[in-house]
Structure 1
Amino acid sequence: MGKRRFVRLPFGLIGTGLLSVVVTTGIVWMMVVDDPLGGEPIAVVPLENSIEGLSQRDIEVVEIRPSLDGEELGPNLRPDEASNRLGPRYELQKPAGQSEITRVDLVNPDPRVIERSGQGYLPTVSNEGLRPLDVYARPVATEFHSIPKIAIIVGGMGLSQTGTENALASLPSDVTLALAPYGANLDRWMQQAREKGHELLLQMPMEPFDFPDNDPGPHTLLISLQEREMVDRFQWLLTRVTNYVGIINQMGARFMSTRPSMQFLFEKLTNRGLMFVDDGTSSRSVAGEVAAETKTPFSGVDVVLDGVPREDEINAKLLQLEGVARARGVAVASSSALPVTIRQLEIWSRDLEERGLQLVPVSATIDR
């Protein structure tokens, strides 16, 4: 039959070799890797990969550049060049015959910056160079220049009594309100808003691309108007209310893409000491370029909050707005006075300072 031969493996030697490799690897790892917390207890916390109500398209990736060279600084960290600033001047000159600087009451228009006309009170620049922008701007605390700043504009004030009352009762005083020129009881809403400390804009209807199918109103500024008619409509709109720092467009995609019309408008605004705000709804707007040429105080909206008026969409836009503010130093948002928008803005603004952000009026964003 013969004898079978059995292979005997040196299991003890193999085990000793493996143990030696493990020990040697551990010693080398501890010598090479610097882990001061090695060996301490750890805890693993599961995190959700998504935020409820948000989708990937709602998150904007922003770039933060830590360089300290010139233009790489954030807008609130750059050297202050007072001679080039177009924003409101809070240090007002003393009126003749007065020993101290005084501001008029918040409700009545300042007689130094109004002009009587057949249509009503028109804003104007005083003989001393005082602008309505200087008089009616809400002062903003600037002790901490590096804090990201956010301006919120709520439009359509005066069109709905319930919506207007809701906005005045719920929103912080640093929120800027835009009055609709065709609204009812505008003087009443202006007075209540000013008493609560809000800064005001006037909405100005301008020609959209699909005019007249989409008609903003009988006094809409059109690119086809003759100069005299353009001035008449412009002045009629300006006299609807007082105490505002500037205007914001209502529609107007076609008008704002036409350079000659915008140049004419901005020259009139500059002569009257007002600012212009681009509501951010037109991608073809040349407002920023023309404002720089005419030296018109200007600010542009970065985020439209309630293009889709749902809570989750508005929250997503607010999150995007915060990201823009942290990356650029200043961000501006616009919205309407819808109940869902006012409710979400009121909730969002409660702990804004605790999150390291500052709410400011829109006039504070002119020189960003």
Structure 2
Amino acid sequence: MTDDLTTPLTGRRPRPGATRRLPIARILFGLLALLAIGFVARVLMVDDPDGGRPSQEVAVTSTRDANEVANNVADGPVTITADPQQFPTDGSITAITTGAGGRSSVIGLPDIFGALPDLSEETANGPIPRISATGLTPFAAYAHPSGDAVASGSPMIAIVVTGLGINEQGSLEAIDALPSEITLAFAPYGKALSTTVAAARTADHEVLLEVPLEPFDYPQNDPGPQTLLTGEPARANLDKLFWLMSRFGGYVGLINNMGARFTASAADFSPLMEELGARGLGYLDDGSSNRSLAPQLAEGNKVPFSRADLLIDANPARASILSALASLEATALENGHAIGIVSALPISINTLAEWARDLESKGILLVPASALMK
């Protein structure tokens, strides 16, 4: 019997009963090759930019020049007649003069909507105040006029309303209710600051920017984002200050929001006051901390400064507010001047507006805060 191992491979026959296998791999390879050849041939021989996708041509009807009203406008001037009920012709509509790019205007916008170009410095966060090339300071440019009141020698009272700008409707109502001599302080976080600050300046109010400073119980008592903190590098606090100062324009200076710890730290407070002096801004201390170094630092940096004498609505009730205002009057009669701070609560605004109507009859003049910040 012949050994299978010695039998030539080419002469080997299948065993009886064995199944013959088809070369499936070779067949599949051949089919793929045929498909590839067919695809390449179609691309080369058939000019079809759509690649075989179904398409259909549709006529598009042009609507050009189909609007008769628009064509009339294009052919010549059109007269539009306004409703006399809404737009009277008796001159009762006041036009707002827009800026023309001069020293004291913003191109295309009324001056009331922002800072004057010569008094603005561009930063990464937006424009912030600076002294102009001619030496004009923001404090002098944006202050409400008060020369006659100061020259009269009469006792003077300044009132600052704080916390405006957060509630848009409440802020606008306060602006409408209060006389223009009252100074308005805006928080830097309102979503409609451009509207509320513009309304305040339109009504001839001078405005202040509230700057959040660290209190002793921070962060349990937090004045808000971008609070200036003790112990931080001066550059970090100045970056926060520039962000705050860029929220809106046209303010005469800053007023603190809290800050008992910060204002007692000369190392942290000094860079802020130096910056205000270099930029021609004032600083009003709200009088909440007896440890504040603001008077000394303001004097050393030639910053227009004053300190509030009384928080008027510590008890937000009408009787208590009127009692506090009477105390403020007594201070003004004794010292010749006094400054009161009041929040933007509706009860405070209404009581304040009522009180202001009779103040001059008592021999006391209502003046903006800038008049007492010297």
TM-score, with normalisation over the residues of structure 2?
A: 0.69
Counterpart of 2:125 in structure 1 is 119
Segments of 5+ residues of structure 1 without an aligned counterpart are: 1-97
Given that residues 161 and 343 in structure 2 are in contact (C-alpha distance below 8 angstroms), is that contact kept between their aligned partners in structure 1? yes
C-alpha change, 1:184 and 1:102, in structure 2 (3 Å) is closer
- The equivalent of 1:109 in structure 2 is 115
Alignment of 1:155-304 (within 5 A): 155-304=162-311
SS in 1 for 2:163: strand
Aligned pair 1:330/2:337, yes or no? yes
SS of corresponding position for 1:212: coil
The one-letter amino acid paired with 1:359 is: L
Secondary structure at the aligned position of 2:319 is classed as helix
Bigger RCO (CA 8 Å, 6+ sep): 1
- Secondary structure of 1:163's partner? helix
CA distance in 2, matches of 1:347, 1:217: 32
Deviation at residue 102 of structure 1 after TM alignment: 7.0
Equivalent position SS for 1:142: helix
> CA separation in 1, counterparts of 2:172 and 2:135?
35
Q: Identity percentage over the alignment? A: 42
8 A contact 2:255–2:284 mirrored in 1: yes
Contact 2:316 2:347 in 1 (8 A): yes
Offset, 1:163: 2.1
Question: How many residues are matched?
Answer: 268
- Determine helix, strand or coil for the equivalent of 1:349: helix
Residue identity matched to 1:116:
E
Q: SS of the residue aligned with 2:121?
A: strand
- Structure 1 residue 206: Cα displacement: 0.3
Find the counterpart in structure 2 of residue 130 from structure 1.
Answer: 136
- Does structure 1 conserve the Cα–Cα contact (< 8 Å) formed by 2:168 and 2:192? no
Give the TM-score taking structure 1 as reference length.
0.70
Q: Partner residue of 1:341? A: 348
Q: Which protein shows a greater Rg?
A: 2
Q: Per-residue displacement from partner, 1:166-221 (whole Å, max 9, x unpaired)? A: 21111000100001011221011111000000000000000000011111122000
Structure 1 Cα separation of the partners of residues 238 and 291 of structure 2: 24
1:27-66 correspondence to structure 2 within 5 Å: none
Alignment partners' CA distance in 2, 1:171 and 1:118 = 35
Aligned-pair distance for 1:228?
A: 1.8
Paired with 1:177 and 1:156, the residues of 2 have a C-alpha distance of 9
The aligned amino acid for 1:260 is A
Contact 2:105 2:117 in 1 (8 A): no
- Structure 2: runs of 5 or more not aligned: 1-101
Three-state SS of the structure 2 residue aligned to 1:321 is helix
In 2, are the aligned partners of 1:103 and 1:135 still within 8 Å (CA)? no
Residue 126 of structure 1 aligns to which amino acid in structure 2?
A: S
Partner of 1:309: 316
